[in-house]
């Protein structure tokens, strides 16, 4: 995001000695870096006002971190000010106005059979710009809606298409595990997810077990992948013939996080610690 740079006062510390302020605009959203400017007493959790590429917005401070001058980006701008109670009250009013508008857009989409799902409507703090995020299969012609909104509200309107994962992140809710969705809580970016990751974790590859509420492969498959790979090191392969305290059998399942394997010994399946398992050499013939 780009923000309007403020000129430092003569009493400010030189830029090279200033820390970096990480600001987030949505819960679980990306963190953007700013210079603190005259706001030298900011703390995590504080609300601040900044100018962005989408207009003036309120964000929340996530961290304040010292960064060496040689590693600092040259295009960083400055926090305008700490948000006041009036700023927060205005934001709340604009959020309510945006929610009402979003309801109207969804009703219109249903009535006119528009192939879009409107996800979010957001006004900037100065109410000069309205951004609407929507999901659609392919391209959707929404120019008529954009021009009508711009004329009736007297604002600049931007309609931005997003993917199903982005929409699920914005809507929030709970995942199949019963916990709030990971994407809404802490995932700032979406990493590539593959079926192979599910295989490594021993998950059933049926669609209901590996897809999230967005209809795509679950994000947890990606960020848990390295943990499973590390835990699976040194474990016998599936279908390996092994000797255990219970007898000789074949490995039918791996439980990397528990450090155990499931072994089929005749008609019985037993769970055995990896440390108690000896892999037997393959026999020819």
Structural domain includes residue 8: no
Predicted TM-score (pTM) of this structure: 0.67
Last residue of a domain, one of 127, 162, 197: 162
Number of folded domains in the chain? 4
**274 domain residue, yes or no:** yes
What residue has token string 């392969």?
237
What is the pLDDT, as a whole number, of residue 5? Answer: 42
pLDDT of residue 94: 96
Q: What is the pLDDT of residue 168?
A: 80
- Residue 284 located in a structural domain: no
| pLDDT band at 29; cut points 50, 70, 90 | confident
Alpha carbon distance 34, 105 (integer Å): 34
267 in a structural domain: yes
**Closest by Cα among 45, 50, 77, 76 to 62:** 45
Q: How far is CA 219 from CA 146, 188, 205, 224, in A?
A: 33, 11, 15, 9
Does 253 reside within a domain? yes
The range of the structural domain enclosing residue 34 comes to: 15-83
Look over the chain and give the mean of its residue pLDDT values, rounded to a whole number. Answer: 85
Q: What is the mean pLDDT of residues 201-218?
A: 80
Q: Which of 59, 83, 107 is the last residue of a domain?
A: 83
For residues 65 and 24, state if they share a domain.
yes
What mean pLDDT comes out for the span 117-143? 91
285 in any annotated domain: no
Does position 146 have pLDDT exceeding 80, yes or no?
yes
Q: Would you list the DSSP string of 170-238?
A: HH--B-TTSSBPHHHHT--SPPP--HHHHHHTT---SHHHHB-TTSSB-THHHHTHHHHHHHHTTPPPT
The pLDDT of residue 199 is above 70: yes
Do 22 and 69 lie in a common domain? yes
Q: What is the pLDDT of residues 220-231, one digit of tens each?
A: 888 788 888 888
Using a pLDDT cut of 90, give the percent of the chain over it: 42
Same-domain status, 93 and 150 = yes
Of 83, 98, 122, the last residue of a domain is 83
Tell me: pLDDT of 10 over 60.
Answer: no
Asked if pLDDT for residue 145 goes beyond 80, the answer is yes
The reply to whether 112 and 176 lie within a common domain is no
pLDDT tens-digit map of 62-91: 999 887 776 667 778 899 999 999 999 999
Other CB atoms within 10 A of residue 215 CB = 10
Please compute the mean of the pLDDT values over residues 146-154 and round it to a whole number. 94
> Does residue 171 share a domain with residue 217?
yes
pLDDT of 151 strictly over 60: yes
Whether 154 and 96 map to the same domain: the answer is: yes
| Same domain, yes or no: 113 and 126 | yes
Residues 249 and 218 in one domain: no
Judged by phi (left if over 0) then psi (alpha if -120 to 50, else beta), residue 46 lies in beta
Residue 15 reports pLDDT greater than 60: no
Mean pLDDT to the nearest integer, 45-64:
92
Specify the pLDDT at position 271: 92
136, 131, 125, 135: which is closest to 146 by C-alpha? Answer: 131
Instruction: Identify the band that residue 7 occupies on the pLDDT scale cut at 50, 70 and 90.
Output: very low
Q: Are residues 101 and 147 in the same domain?
A: yes
Domain assignment present for residue 263? The answer is: yes
pLDDT at residue 30 in the model: 84
**Considering the domain boundaries, does residue 260 fall inside one?**
yes
Tell me, what CATH number does 105's domain have? 3.30.300
């Amino acid at each position: 995001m780009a923000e309007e740079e403020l000129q430092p006062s003569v009493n400010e510390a030189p830029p090279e000695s200033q820390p970096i302020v990480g600001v987030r605009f949505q819960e679980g959203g990306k963190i953007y870096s700013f210079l603190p400017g005259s706001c030298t007493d900011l703390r995590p959790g504080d609300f601040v006002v900044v100018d962005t590429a989408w207009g003036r917005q309120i964000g929340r401070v996530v961290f304040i971190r010292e960064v060496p001058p040689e590693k600092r980006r040259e295009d960083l701008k400055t926090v305008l000010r700490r948000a006041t109670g009036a700023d927060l009250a205005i934001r709340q009013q604009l959020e309510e106005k945006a929610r009402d508008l979003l309801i109207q857009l969804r009703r219109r989409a249903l009535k006119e059979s528009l192939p879009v799902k409107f996800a979010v409507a957001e006004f900037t703090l100065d109410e000069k710009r309205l951004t609407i995020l929507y999901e659609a299969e392919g391209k959707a012609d929404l120019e008529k809606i954009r021009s009508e909104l711009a004329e009736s509200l007297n604002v600049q309107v931007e309609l931005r298409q997003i993917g199903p994962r982005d929409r699920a992140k914005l809507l929030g809710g709970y995942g199949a595990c019963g916990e709030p969705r990971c994407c809404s809580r802490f995932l700032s970016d979406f990493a590539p997810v593959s079926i192979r990751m599910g295989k490594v974790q021993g998950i059933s590859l049926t669609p209901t077990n590996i897809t999230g509420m967005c209809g795509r492969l679950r994000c947890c498959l990606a960020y848990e992948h390295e943990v499973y790979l590390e835990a699976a090191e040194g474990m016998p392969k599936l279908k390996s013939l092994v000797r255990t305290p219970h007898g000789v059998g074949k490995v039918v399942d791996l439980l990397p996080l528990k450090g155990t394997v499931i072994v089929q010994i005749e008609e019985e399946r037993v769970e055995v610690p990896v440390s108690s398992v000896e892999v037997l050499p393959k026999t020819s013939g």
